[in-house]
């Protein structure tokens, strides 16, 4: 079994920073960046769980839900990660999104 703790920590850090960010920062793109990450994490989880099926797109639940969306999508992905390379890739995705979001 692969250790997914680094992914969980990265997700929690990003989510906490989003929750603490001012509304103006969320409006300037942090929430949109988080939604994009949540959609990608969700897509990857769905493809791992149902290969060949068309992934469903996570809806936009609004800027104040962005932190929850990355948390839910990320934890879904964590459940299907099988290798250290997949863990490293997930951590990279979260870190890059957080950097682009500026939080």
Joined tokens for residue 33: 């960046």
**Which among 40, 25, 50, 32 is positioned nearest to 103, based on CA atoms?**
25
Radius of gyration from C-alpha coordinates of the chain = 13
**DSSP letter assigned to residue 50:** S
Tokens 């099988």, located at residue: 82
Helices (H), 55-83: 66-78
What is the per-residue pLDDT across 11-61, written as a single tens digit (0 to 9) for each?
999 999 999 999 999 999 999 999 999 999 999 999 999 999 999 999 999
pTM of the model: 0.94
């Amino acid at each position: 079994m692969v250790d997914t703790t680094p992914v969980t920590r990265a997700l929690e850090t990003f989510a906490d920073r989003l929750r603490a960010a001012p509304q103006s920062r969320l409006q300037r793109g942090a929430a949109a960046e988080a939604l994009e990450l949540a959609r990608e994490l969700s897509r990857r989880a769905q493809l791992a769980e149902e290969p060949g099926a068309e992934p469903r797109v996570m809806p936009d639940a609004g800027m104040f839900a962005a932190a929850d969306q990355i948390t839910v999508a990320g934890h879904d992905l964590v459940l299907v990660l099988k290798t250290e390379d997949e863990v490293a890739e997930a951590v990279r995705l979260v870190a890059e999104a957080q950097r682009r979001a500026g939080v």
